[in-house]
Amino acid sequence: MELRHLRYFIAVAEELNFTRAATRLHIGQPPLSMQIRDLEEEIGVRLFERGPRRVALSTAGERFLLHARRILDGVEEAVAEARRAARGELGELRVGFTSSLPFTDLLPDALNAYRRRFPQVRLQLREMFTPEQFQALVRGELDVGFVRLQAGTPPAGIVLREVARNPLRLVVNAAHRLAGAAQVHLAELAGEDFISFPADVGTDLPGVLRALCRQAGFEPRIVQTAREATTQIGLVAAGLGVAVLPAPLESVRIARVRYLALAEPEAQFRLALAIREGEPVPTLGGFLEVLESLRTGEPPLALSVPRQ
């Protein structure tokens, strides 16, 4: 039994006339009659009661019609759903991001725009340090990651594309000697106690801090580490030292903390998009289109995935 047999049967059942059904199906009447007979032989029951001047559904035919319509409706639904999945309108998108990203406009704007355009795609969001995102991408556990460019070299097969730059801010206690400054040169921080991330957390901010301080002529003295940026800000509020963090964390407002601009133009933390090399899954293709439209301000267009 093939789907065409069901379509032929439904046409005859609705027209109750083989000639009209054949015209509707754009086939000859004799072949149609033969197909219906073949169907009845395969099922082993009569689907129609045939008379000299009339055709009527048999009791078996009435029951079969209900299921035939359901089957064809199901097939049409499956086809439509498959096409929507191929267009990235259904399925799942797994997104990784670094801890400071929710404090920026980029991630909230991208997720909001993507959700509006693809409301039936399920988003799975995971906060992860950059090296963890790289490994999750390699293992196929993420579709896309928002990573820090300074946080190590990506594994083979992972493509990076810079999408934003966040200035770094000096975080000081309100009672600090520099708290009232509009801008601070790193050389002014020689001899300060610094709060930073531990080396094993997977962000290269400690490395960026060391490089900037060495460029300014001194080695930073790390007196306290904390795995969370918000914890570091709290420790600054407690007067335990100063910290250097991405500017989006300025939105963490604590009464005894001030955020100061750094004068050095290279005091930036660069954000990149990380994806697996090759053709993206449909849901990722849609996400990349949305990101591109946010960047350019233009309606979403097809966007090819960059290759190394």
Per residue in 252-279, pLDDT (tens digit) is 889 899 999 999 998 988 888 999 988 7
Q: DSSP per residue over 153-196, as a string?
A: PPPTTEEEEEEEEEEEEEEEETTSTTTT-SEE-GGGGTT-EEEE
pLDDT more than 70, % of the chain = 94
Indicate whether 301 pLDDT > 50: no
The larger pLDDT score, comparing residue 260 to residue 77, is at 260
Per the structure, how many domains does the chain have? 2
**pLDDT band with cut points at 50, 70 and 90 for residue 70:** very high
Statement to judge: residues 75 and 99 lie in one domain: no
Give the model confidence (pLDDT) of 110-140 as tens digits: 999 999 999 999 999 999 888 899 999 999 9
What does the block give as tokens for 21? 């059904």
pLDDT digits (tens, 9 = 90+) for 134-178: 999 999 999 999 988 765 678 899 999 888 888 999 999 999 999
What does the pLDDT read at residue 91?
Answer: 87
Beta bridge partners, 170, equal 244, 260
Confidence at residue 8, expressed as pLDDT on a 0 to 100 scale: 92
Looking at the structure, do residues 62 and 175 belong to the same domain, yes or no?
no
Average per-residue pLDDT for the chain: 87
- Same-domain check for residues 217 and 298: yes
Q: Are residues 75 and 122 in the same domain?
A: no
Kindly state whether residues 55 and 133 are assigned to the same domain.
no
Cβ count within 10 A of residue 64? 21
Q: Which of 87, 118, 134 is the last residue of a domain?
A: 87
DSSP string, 102-158: GGSSHHHHHHHHHHHH-TTEEEEEEE--HHHHHHHHHTTS-SEEEEETTS-PPPTTE
Q: Which two tokens stand for residue 18?
A: 């083989």
Select the more confidently predicted residue: 13 or 302.
13
Per-residue b or e along 260-295, where b marks 16 or more CB atoms closer than 10 Å to that residue's CB:
bebebeebbbbbbbbbbeeebbbbbbbbbbbbebbe
Contacts of 10 (CB under 8 A, 6+ apart): 65, 68, 69, 72
Confidence category of residue 195, pLDDT binned at 50, 70, 90: very high
In this model, does residue 90 exceed pLDDT 90?
A: no
% of the chain residues with pLDDT over 90? 55
Residue 305 clears pLDDT 60, i.e. is over it: no
Are 114 and 46 contained in the same domain? no
Give CA separation, 87 vs 76, 114, 279, 304, in Å.
17, 14, 14, 14
For residue 80, the domain's CATH number is 1.10.10.10
149 in the same domain as 47 = no
Identify residue 52 by its one-letter amino acid code: P
pLDDT for 297 = 64
- Domain of residue 35 covers 3-87
Q: Does residue 302 carry a pLDDT above 70?
A: no
Domain boundary residue among 87, 104, 120?
Answer: 87
pTM of the model: 0.66
Q: Residue 272 is inside which H or E element, if any?
A: strand 268-276
Last residue of a domain, one of 63, 87, 111: 87
